[in-house]
C-alpha cells in the first residue's frame, strides 16, 4: 500500500450546512457537486475532499453507525505569516466556523489557531517556519525552538 491518501471523505450530520461552509463560505470549487447528495473538492495533487451524509458513509462502510462527538483528528492548512493565521481564522468564522483556539504561539515554535467547521471537524491554521515543500512536493519538517 503506497503512502497515499486519494480521498478524505467527511461523514456529516447536515450536508447542506457543510456544503455552504466549504463551497459558499470558503469559496472552494467542487470537482463534482450534487447538492443534497455529495460534493467532492480537490484539496491536493490528485486528492479529493468529500462531503457526504454521515448515514450514507456509515452504510457504505457497512460497519454500523458513527457515534456523535467531534472526530479525533485535525486537518491543517499552513500559511506564510502569523498575520495570515489571524486573517484566515476570521475568514473561517465569517463563513460559519466556530473558533476553538484564537491565533497564538504554538508549542512547535510557530503560530497557530483552530476552528471547527459546521460539522465539528477541526482545522488548524498554522504558520510553521520549520515546514517547507520542495519543487517535487517533498515536505521537510524541522523542529523550531519555541
Query: What does the binding site for its own copies look like in residue numbers (CB under 8 A)?
Result: 1-12, 26, 28-29, 31-32, 40-49, 54, 57-58, 60-63, 66-78, 88, 91-92, 100-101, 106-107, 114, 116, 121-122, 124-125, 131, 133, 137-141
Rounded CA-CA distance 35/19 in Å is 8
Query: Residue 79 carries which DSSP code?
Result: -
Rounded CA-CA distance 91/4 in Å is 30
CB of 106 to its own copies, least distance (A): 8
In the complex with its own copies, the residue whose CB is nearer, 17 or 100, is 100
Rounded CA-CA distance 132/80 in Å is 10
In the complex with its own copies, the residue whose CB is nearer, 11 or 118, is 11
CB of 116 to its own copies, least distance (A): 7
Q: How far is CA 124 from the centre of its chain?
A: 8
In the complex with its own copies, the residue whose CB is nearer, 20 or 91, is 91
For residue 127, list its beta bridge partners: 111
**Cα dihedral sign for 98, 103, 107, 109?**
positive
CB of 13 to its own copies, least distance (A): 8
In the complex with its own copies, the residue whose CB is nearer, 24 or 133, is 133
Amino acid at each position: 500500500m503506497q503512502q497515499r491518501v486519494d480521498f478524505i471523505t467527511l461523514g456529516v450530520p447536515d450536508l447542506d450546512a457543510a456544503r455552504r461552509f466549504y463551497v459558499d463560505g470558503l469559496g472552494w470549487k467542487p470537482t463534482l457537486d450534487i447538492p443534497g447528495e455529495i460534493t467532492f473538492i480537490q484539496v491536493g495533487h490528485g486528492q479529493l475532499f468529500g462531503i457526504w451524509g454521515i448515514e450514507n458513509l456509515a452504510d457504505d462502510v457497512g460497519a454500523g453507525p458513527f457515534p456523535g462527538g467531534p472526530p479525533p483528528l485535525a486537518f491543517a492548512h499552513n500559511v506564510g505569516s502569523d498575520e495570515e493565521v489571524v486573517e484566515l481564522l476570521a475568514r473561517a468564522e465569517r463563513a460559519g466556523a466556530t473558533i476553538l483556539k484564537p491565533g497564538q504561539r504554538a508549542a512547535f515554535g510557530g503560530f497557530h489557531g483552530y476552528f471547527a467547521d459546521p460539522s465539528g471537524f477541526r482545522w488548524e491554521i498554522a504558520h510553521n517556519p520549520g515546514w517547507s515543500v520542495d519543487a517535487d512536493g517533498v515536505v521537510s519538517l524541522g523542529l523550531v525552538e519555541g
